[in-house]
Structure 1
């Protein structure tokens, strides 16, 4: 479930398309209060989303509440659960995209660099603006490029560690604390790995697969990175000594047998290994929390481990932007503001909200499980896809190939990780520069 949602949040829309207008900033500002548009003319606002089912129903519920107070507005939620990205790119190329559209975190930079997103900063700071202190600033920053905001958050998740209290108790192992380290994580995983007659019946943990986003907290804790803060190069970062040390440690954990291999996971037919108590710990996002509660599991959640360079989490994010060629930007902003404030009270019933009043009203900040993900907002460090729109399909793809080598079933113990990272950085940098020039 978690992987599907993460893929939805990061659509990887790296196709080149032509826009009818580039990076437009509205010179007018709406002057109405939230939930009231500034015109008496009938206005139709189109909302693009990849969500169907319950997600679509929530968006339609919020739209209905807004329309009840704004009789001059019709809001149409255009749900495209399949091939959303392809359709959106086609609409943008044809100058007919929704006035507001949902965006996965990995695509914010791409859409902005190609001029598809309206600069929201003048609206946020205008007469019909927002109180920025009402939001978790670290989550807002996903939509901030070069000092201007281009998206507002719909929902988000940080990264944390689930642990099975019953399995810890059976092994006589103390529960992890918020100030633990990756070395302590590894030691605990070894203590909770059980082998009988040469076959592992319980693993200490599940480990990230070939996903750079999931491995970032470990790399950051070692003082490494995979791209420069300016987003212009991976050389000296992806292939740094610190990143090499982090992945060498990751490789050691994989080879030690504290986590199931990809082959072993596939043999278990993709079941939730934490829910089935095959693993004692599981690093992931907020998504499975409710199912574990519903199943009556005795579990806890703790912040990701840290290292010599500090303690870091990462973020998964879905947001909304205003189409830069929309003819009704003021009206679209008024509704986007509503989605980002009053509408968050509905979204917060099912997901983490970056709007603090909604998060507090839903009890998210004090929840024994979800509260850890909220506190981890302070540990967020920005991910590479937000820093460079070409990263995913170039350097990011090369880096994921290295991760695939590590988590794969072959060559265990024989990998030259430094060489793999050197090649990935060199090839990825060349490909990234080429794509950025196009």
Structure 2
């Protein structure tokens, strides 16, 4: 084990804690074999006999009840189409990363591990995951850009090797309340809407009483990086020179300053986004009708389908879908443990999660945009009950995406720095230029330290 694992193991031994079983309260389900004639390649009937690796593996993940239900269906489907195999599903919903690391220390790591690239990166570097480049080499169809969103793959690459297969991704879009815009006599936003036009729409639909207390506001603007970095990307700004293999911080730019100015004005000068005081009056969210606009990942669509009090839809963020990198995206995928005693079967399962059969299953929740375009654009995905009119935007803007989260171990520390200065920006205690320079300076130090110890 690497030094990190050795130190952590020593610490755990000193505390006399056991690292041999799954965490207390975690669900563990062993899927039963069922019969199926569906092909994992094209979703069509097939009677071809399976002759690949057999045996037993474990697959760990986290998620909501609906997500876990889909994971179990995927395990069942795999076993049905791969006779002689058993996949045991393990769910770690409490402190996922720590639980997985503890299992590694006890020599009982799951064979297949689900995670976001930023979560998997540490484990790649520590030797906890094994390269699975051979999966990409064996299955040439994975590189067919007519079928797959191949621009997602680099988020799982380190030192020339791939360490996971992606299930899909979620881009960030603009949710909007059509009813509020109708009442204000405003047009709906679309792919040609500018940030200036969005500001006018947000102003026109903000309502404050005679004392200036907001009754509803134009946009649920957040200075947290999940919601503000997509705005920065859309303006042409960036956090790192390469989000998947960074060598320098690139935050201090005219494009970033422009985005920060828009954010600061929205919450202060223009008054259509909540500042610190407004937040005490408006405690609901977009689904409660408190805001006209809301910037978030398309995973939130499934939570909006139950809205009945108003009409709503989604649109690309202004100035996006113009060039690669202007759209923020979150990824998720499947890696193989370096401790796996059945690595070939684990790799077979990681590949299966990219096939038509499994992608259909994983799309059922509506929480993730499938990797396969034919599944992502299918009626079963796009026309789910309660879906917005322009639901297909979640697929159409994927080619323009870049990783929301940087693939560096110091990313979380960088985001602590980011949050601190963005709070000051919101409170008008620093200017956009000062904010950009401060974040650039401190984050570059963090990245330099990391690269020096690489």
TM-score (norm 1): 0.82
SS at match of 1:340: coil
List aligned pairs for 1:18-417, cutoff 5 A: 18=6, 36=50, 38-39=52-53, 43-51=55-63, 53-126=65-138, 130-133=141-144, 134-197=147-210, 198-211=212-225, 213-229=226-242, 230-234=245-249, 237-255=250-268, 256-265=270-279, 267-269=281-283, 271=284, 273-296=285-308, 297-306=310-319, 312-341=326-355, 342-351=357-366, 352-364=369-381, 368-386=389-407, 388-393=408-413, 395-407=414-426, 411-412=427-428, 414-417=429-432
Q: Distance in 1 between matches of 2:377 and 2:190?
A: 24
Q: Distance in 2 between matches of 1:94 and 1:405?
A: 44
Listed as ranges, the gaps of 5+ residues in structure 2 are 9-39, 42-48
- 1:27 is aligned to none
Alignment CA distance shift 1:81-1:18 (3 Å): same
Q: Which moved more, 1:92-101 or 1:297-306?
A: 92-101
3-state secondary structure, aligned to 1:275: helix
Q: How many angstroms does 1:333 deviate by?
A: 1.2
For the 8 Å contact 1:206–1:283, the answer to whether it is kept is yes
Checking the alignment, whether the CA contact within 8 Å between 1:402 and 1:420 is kept in structure 2 is yes
Q: Unaligned stretches of 5+ in structure 1?
A: 1-14, 21-32
CA contact (8 A) 1:99 1:329 kept: yes
Q: What do the CA deviations read for 1:364-395 (whole angstroms, capped 9, x no partner)?
A: 35773431111111221233422x232222x3
1:365/1:51 CA distance change after superposition, 3 Å: closer
Mark the CA change 1:298 to 1:307 in structure 2 (over 3 Å): closer, same or farther. Answer: closer
Residues 333 and 37 (structure 1 numbering): CA distance in 2 closer, same or farther, change over 3 Å? farther
Q: Is the 8 A contact 1:52 1:80 kept in 2?
A: no
Contact 2:173 2:314 in 1 (8 A): yes
* TM-score (normalizing by structure 2): 0.79
Distance 2:417 2:57 in 1: 40
CA contact (8 A) 1:251 1:406 kept: yes
| Secondary structure of residue in 2 paired with 1:381 | strand
Instruction: State the alpha-carbon separation in 2 of the partners of residues 421 and 359 from structure 1.
Output: 37
1:7 equivalent in structure 2: none
Please state how far the C-alpha of 1:139 moved relative to its aligned partner: 3.0
**3-state secondary structure, aligned to 2:166:** strand
Shift in CA distance, 184/210, structure 1 to aligned 2, threshold 3 Å? same
2:4 and 2:257 mapped to 1: Cα distance?
33
Contact 2:191/2:319, CA 8 A, preserved across alignment? no
Residues 67, 50 of structure 1: alpha-carbon distance in 2 compared, 3 angstrom cutoff: same
Contact kept, 8 Å, 1:231 with 1:384, in 2: the verdict is no
